[in-house]
Each structure stands twice: as C-alpha cells, then as structure tokens.
Structure 1
Amino acid sequence: MSEITGSLSTLALQKFKQDFWGVFSFWFIVLVGFVSVFAYVLAPDNSQHANQMHLSIHSKKPGFKVQMLSIPSSIAQDQSVIDRLFFGKKNPASEIPISAYRITGNKLLYTEYASDGLEGAEKELDLNNYQNFNKATFIKEQTFIFGTDKYGRDLLSRILVGARISFFIGFVAVFISLVIGIFMGSVAGYFGGKIDAFIMWIINVTWSIPTLLLVIAITLALGKGFWQVFIAVGLTMWVEVARVVRGQIISVKEMQYVTAARALGFNDFRIITKHILPNIMAPVIVISAANFAAAILIESGLSFLGIGAQPPMASWGAMIKDHYNYIILGKPYLALIPGFCIMSLVMAFMLIGNALRDALDVKSA
C-alpha cells in the first residue's frame, strides 16, 4: 500500500488538477478576468463604455462590414495612458459610416451610409483643418464581428466591456459577504447563548426576505449606480456564509486543539482566527464559488429591471433588456449573445465550486 505524503492542501490541489471541468473552468475564469481588466485594449471601440453610436447601421448582423470615416476630436486630449488603458478614451474620434467618397482638391466628399436601399446624404469635409490628413487613417473598412446593437454600437466591444461588471461584482459581493458572514457566524458559533440566539434571529429575518426584493430596497436606499449595486448584492449574501461558519465552529470548538489553546491562555480572538477558522475554510471556499455565480445572476437581473448599472455603462443584463424583443423580430443574437456570456460565466463558477468541494473532501482523499 502506497504511503500518502504531503499536506492536505497539496492533496486537495492534486485532486483538483485531476478534475477536467474544474481546471477548464478555472482557466476560463482567468480568461474572463483578463478580458475584464484589459477590455479597452481588446475592444474595437475603445471609447468609454464602448458607446460610439451609429444609428444608420443599427441592428446589423454579425460580420457586417462598412467603410468608416474617422474624424479626430477637436478637444484636447488630457488623459493619461493608464486612464485610457483601463477606462477608455474620453474624447474618441467621431466615426461616420459612409458608402462612397472622393477627394477633390482640399475637400473630402462623402456619402453617408443608409440602409434599406436608401440614398445617404452627401457631405464634405474641409481637409485644410487637418494638416496630417492620410486617407489610410481617416477611412478604414470596419468589421463588426458580433454585429451592432439597436443604437449602432459595436456589440463585441459592449460584450467585452460589460464583462467587467459581471466579473468584478462577484469579487466585491463575495468579499463583503465573507467579511460580514465570517464575523457574525464566528461570534454566534463560538460564544453561543443569547448572542447566538440574537444573531440567528437577524439571520432568519434577513433570510426570510426575498433576495431580489432586499437588493432592490438597498439599491433604492443607496441610489442607482455602479458601486451601489455591488454593495447591495454583497449585503444580501452574507447569511449563507454566517450559517455555514456558525455550524462549523459549533462542531469544532470543543475539539482537543481548541481546548489546548484555551489551556495555554490564548484569548478568544486568537483561538477563532488562528486555530478554528483555518480548519473550517473548506466549506466556506465552496460556498463562495456558488456566491460568485449568484452575484452575477442577481446583478444581471437588476440591470434587466433597470436598477443596476446605468446607461451608457455596458452590462450584460442591460443588453438583454434592450434587445429581448428582437428575439421575435428575426435578430435573436442581440439578446442571446449576452445571455450566453452570463450562462457561461455562471456555469464556470458552479463547476469550479463542485470541483473544489470534491477536492477539499478529506474523507475521500
């Protein structure tokens, strides 16, 4: 019989590596995280919130191509490289879809793009205002890989930028839920008695309120906005963490290593943080992965209802809200693409949660 060597964390890591879907989900989440951080580097439309509107080419199918005239902004750029890299350009070039153009002297004559067989308006641009005019930089053929939304914005860019909200809300909400949940659960489980009864009363009251209704109430109290949604979702998810931590502490607080710590004169804070919590974190890690998925779904639901991330901020839930009626108008991809993104990210967190549960199960090691 082979001897099992290594710490429990090493054994858990080895078991996790053997789970194909767990490893696949991990790298998928890493990829989404990379896209979220560098969205404006990867997105074809690097304006803030990918909000370049072209109403003449609204609701175009994936793969749509058009010539785009880019007119540099006359407003001075006072943006740092870091700000532009992570938050997009504040003053992007004005983009005009065109169907034809010609250069006559110092003037650029162009015909604006018009769909449905209509003839676009003819306009001219005085090239004397642009000393470094170069046709190759002013006029380019642009391909919209995912097509355009109902406002003529690049759908791919909106998807990439919208990944930020869905991805980071998981981190913020789970962090808030862990801080509150671990504290409340630790106090209730360790001290017991009236303190436990009081905290459990708070937990039960919070638990009895529908999650979405509680999030809506907190959001309305804090106001509509980006960070308000993050905080609201986090404040509704701590009860599950608290119940798990409380139950785990109740089951281990009378074990020998805790009794030995008390006999050595360690205070309650050190016993909880240094001796008990490190030994009960496995189920907390698993429930955190599930809370990631729940936070993404709640934020998408709030954005769909119009009380989540506010326009022009890109959000997958808001994109579904804007285009769900296009499902019966022959352009279902406008709603299905962001819906598939939500489903994929939620599924990845659920799969990695299942893999962590199996890997951290010491009984099967």
Structure 2
Amino acid sequence: MSQKATSLSKLALQKFKTNFWGVFSFGFLVLCILVAVFCYLIAPDDSQNANQMHVSVHSKRPGFEVMMLTVPSGKANTKSLLHSVFFGKENTDTAIPIQDYQLTANGITIQQYVDGDAEGLSKEFSLSQFPNISRPEQIAEKYIKKQTFILGTDKYGRDLLSRMLVGIRISLSIGFIAVFISLLIGISLGAIAGYYGGKTDAFIMWLINVTWSIPTLLLVIAITLTLGKGFWQVFIAVGLTMWVEVARVVRGQVMGIKQMQYVTAAKALGFNDFRIIKNHIIPNILAPVIVISAANFAAAILIESGLSFLGIGAQPPMPSWGAMIKDHYSYIILGKAYLAIIPGAAIMSLVMAFMLIGNALRDALDVKG
C-alpha cells in the first residue's frame, strides 16, 4: 500500500515537473518567500517598515540619485542583531538629502536638497555631533554617501524598492494564515457534513449557503470593522470568509469515499469515527483540497490588497501593496503612473504565480489524466 502511494506521489511529481509554467511559478514563489524572510538584508532602507522619509525627494523617478548626510542621534540600538535582521533596525539617525556641502574649521555646512533650480537652506553641523571624528574631512568620508533610489521614491520620500520588498511579507502572510484558517474550518465542517449526513449535513449546508450568499468583500469588511483595523484582524477576517469553498469540496469528496470498501472495513474493525475520518478519508481527498488552496491563496492576496486600498487593511506605516496603490493612484494622470503600476504589477505577478501553480497541481494530481 505504501509503495503504491509512493509511486503515485512520484508520478504526480514527474507530471508537475513537465509543466513549465508550474515549475517557473514555483521557483518564483520560492524566491518571493526568501525575499520576504530576508527583506531587511536586501532592502536599501533597513529601518522598521522601511519608513525613513525624505519629503524633499518625494515622488522621484526610478534611478534618482542624491547625496545623503547621516547625522547620528547618539542613541544606542536596543534591539538585538537577530531582531534587526528579521524586523528592521530601530533607526534614530537623521538622514538629510543635500545638494552641496562645504567643510569648515568647526564642522560642515550643507545646502539641503530642493527640487528645481532653487537653492536649499543652509545648515551647519559641528564636529561634536559626529562621534569618533577629529577632522572635518572624516565627516564627508564617513557620513556623506550617494544614495540611489532604484525604483524611485513615493509621495513621502520613502524608498519604493524597500517598501515593495517589505510589502511581500503582508501578501504572503495573509495567504498562508488565511488559507490555514480556511482549511482548518472547511475540512472539519465538510468532513463532518459528508460523513454523518442527515440533519448534521443539512445544518452545515445551510450555514455554508448563508455564508456564501453574502458578498465576500462585504463580509470581510464587516468582520474587520467588528474586530478592529489591523494586521492580524485582516488575517482572521479573510480566513473566516474563505472556508465555504473548502467545505463544499470536502463534503462532496467524503460523501463518495465513505462508501469505499476500506472505510467499511475500518468500521468493521471497530475504529471510531474520528480515526476513520483522520486516517482513512482525509488523506484520500487532499488532491482537490491542495488545488483549491492555491486558488484561495491568490484570492486572499487580492482581498487583502482591496481592503488596504479601502483603508481597512494593514495600517500605516506597515507597507502593503494595496495601500501603495491607494496612495498613488492619482499620480497616474500626473505623469508618474509607475508609483501605482509597480505595486499593481507585483500583486498581479504573485496572484498569477499561485493560479499557475494551482493549474499545474490540478493536472499533476488528476489520476484520470
């Protein structure tokens, strides 16, 4: 029996490998997960939530370069190295975009950056404001660097690339947690309804039909407003609205499988219902559940983006691709459409990857194919 299962698994894996778009999407998803885990090591702005603002350089084009003077705050970083790697640094230093600077005997005089041909304000900093500095030349060497914004800056002057990289966490997290909640509820209720039937099945189907009759987005908004705005509230709200598809699929599969001979044999051996459902029925219905989970993953990302666009998803300063589109959709007619197109393309790419993986899994796990 185990050899048969193993051979079927290998056959499904071989069929999946022959699907170019499925393998490509899987590789893209693995890359996104790695970026989400180590985003603060990759992002140019490694502060918490990549929220370092430079209003004077807001809405700049991709590839924009500017000199940046960093003025130390003198406060020690209280967070551990591990915390900084996975959650960003507690940045208390002041970064100032500058057009020009001049070294003086007592420190440095800068000319702050302003857009256009106007001259920026001048400001002077003494040597005492820079630790371990004995000569003005060391200020320019150590604290002045040319910074390149690869994807430009948003309307608050934050690095768009860093916000995009950190924002992957929101989309992937909402997918994993919402799908986990939907699987937990959907498999449990679907298996109970399909296995026992009768009034139990009628009640659960009534609950499924009532939930399904309510528009998903409206139901999510209602749950979110009840639980409050926030990161975890969105996860729970989306998960509580996506279980109905899983429950209907599981119910139909269980109703067919419970008539099989091995289930009858398990009942004859005296196994309890929980053991039969857990060990004999659910393992044999995982194929369609995996396929629908991939589709639910994509749907969860779209729902979260929509909620963030409406302002009831992940709250600022936490980066969310949907919130980025909300902040910059008006820039489409102002000649800076990329500020909204870049996060929109990212959402589309991630959703497309999950849909292609779902299609590849459907073909690979189709025993009739």
If the length of structure 1 is used for normalisation, what is the TM-score? 0.97
Q: Deviations over 1:227-267 (max 9, x none)?
A: 10011000000000000000000011011010011011110
| Alignment-derived partner of residue 199 in structure 2 | 194
Q: How far is the alpha carbon of 1:117 from its aligned partner?
A: 1.4
Three-state SS of the structure 2 residue aligned to 1:62 is coil
Q: How far is the alpha carbon of 1:6 from its aligned partner?
A: 5.6
| Alignment-derived partner of residue 130 in structure 2 | 130
1:130-279 to 2 correspondences below 5 Å: 130-133=130-133, 134=138, 135-279=140-284
| Alignment-derived partner of residue 93 in structure 1 | 93
Three-state SS of the structure 2 residue aligned to 1:67 is strand
Q: How far is the alpha carbon of 1:103 from its aligned partner?
A: 1.1
Q: Deviations over 1:70-110 (max 9, x none)?
A: 11223221111111111111234211000001111121110
| Alignment-derived partner of residue 294 in structure 1 | 299
Aligned amino acid, residue 79 of structure 1: K
The two structures, once aligned, show a CA RMSD in angstroms of 1.1
* d(CA) in 1 for partners of 2:6, 2:88: 47
* d(CA) in 2 for partners of 1:359, 1:284: 14
Q: Structure 2: which 5+ residue stretches go unaligned?
A: none
| Alignment-derived partner of residue 17 in structure 2 | 17
Q: Structure 1: which 5+ residue stretches go unaligned?
A: none
Going from structure 1 to structure 2, the CA distance change for 1:88 and 1:6 (only over 3 Å counts) comes to: closer
| Alignment-derived partner of residue 315 in structure 2 | 310
* 2:75/2:92 contact within 8 Å kept: no
* d(CA) in 2 for partners of 1:136, 1:362: 66
Q: Deviations over 1:303-351 (max 9, x none)?
A: 0000000111100000000000000000000000000000000000000
* d(CA) in 2 for partners of 1:359, 1:73: 57
Q: Deviations over 1:124-176 (max 9, x none)?
A: 11112323233222000000000000111000000001111011110000000
* d(CA) in 1 for partners of 2:117, 2:5: 73
Of 339, 350, 354, the match for 1:349: 354
* 1:40/1:85 contact within 8 Å kept: yes
* 1:75/1:91 contact within 8 Å kept: no
Of 326, 332, 340, the match for 1:327: 332
1:8-87 to 2 correspondences below 5 Å: 8-87=8-87
* 1:173/1:230 contact within 8 Å kept: yes
| Alignment-derived partner of residue 120 in structure 1 | 120
Q: Which deviates further from its counterpart, 60-69 or 97-106?
A: 97-106
Q: Deviations over 1:180-208 (max 9, x none)?
A: 00000010000000000000000000000
* d(CA) in 1 for partners of 2:242, 2:199: 24
* 1:66/1:98 contact within 8 Å kept: yes
Of 359, 364, 367, the match for 1:362: 367
Q: Which deviates further from its counterpart, 104-113 or 314-323?
A: 104-113
* d(CA) in 2 for partners of 1:121, 1:278: 69
Three-state SS of the structure 2 residue aligned to 1:335 is helix
Q: Deviations over 1:48-68 (max 9, x none)?
A: 111111111110000000000
Q: How far is the alpha carbon of 1:5 from its aligned partner?
A: 10
Q: How far is the alpha carbon of 1:25 from its aligned partner?
A: 0.4
* 1:166/1:299 contact within 8 Å kept: yes
| Alignment-derived partner of residue 110 in structure 1 | 110
Aligned length: 361
* d(CA) in 1 for partners of 2:83, 2:73: 18
* d(CA) in 1 for partners of 2:341, 2:323: 12
Q: Which deviates further from its counterpart, 218-227 or 83-92?
A: 83-92
Percent identical among aligned pairs is: 72
Give runs of ≥4 in structure 1 deviating > 3 Å.
none
* 2:186/2:245 contact within 8 Å kept: yes
